[in-house]
Structure 1
Amino acid sequence: MRFPLTLAMLLLAVGCTPTVRMEAPREPITINLNVQLDADVRVRLEEQAQEDVASNPDIF
């Protein structure tokens, strides 16, 4: 009497196991490289700041 109940519980437990799939993405991976632009803007701002401090030394 216990065997059919145990078998039914085992089959239900096996049917509920999660499935993990590994798939490649359909679209290509895009890497955006805006590093050069950011560095260029920072250098310009730093040069402008140095010029402002040199022209107005009593600001700070």
Structure 2
Amino acid sequence: MNWSAINIIGVIGAALYLSGCSPSVRLEAPEKPIEITMNVKIEHEIRLKVEKDVDALISGNKDLF
């Protein structure tokens, strides 16, 4: 055998060896559904009512401030 035949055999052998080590990626849906827990405090409505009451109180008593 000459060197070119050995090189070709080596390249083919390396390609076969490395093709067995190729990584694989799997995309699968989870078995359980995804749960998102959100704890949100809603204070906007309460503040709006308080602000309206304060505005009414201030406009009724101009000498407060």
TM-score of the aligned structures, taking structure 1 as reference length: 0.52
Larger Cα-atom Rg: 2
* Count of aligned positions: 52
22, 28, 44: which is aligned to 2:26? 22
CA RMSD of aligned residues (A): 3.0
How far apart, in 1, do the equivalents of 2:51 and 2:27 lie? 57
Stretches (4+) displaced over 6 A? none
Correspondence 1:42-57 to 2 at 5 A: 42=42, 45-57=43-55
TM-score (norm: length of structure 2)? 0.49
Gaps of 5+ in 1: none
Unaligned ranges ≥5, structure 2: 59-65
**Cα distance, 1:21 vs structure 2:** 5.2
- Residue 17 of structure 2 aligns with an amino acid whose one-letter code is G
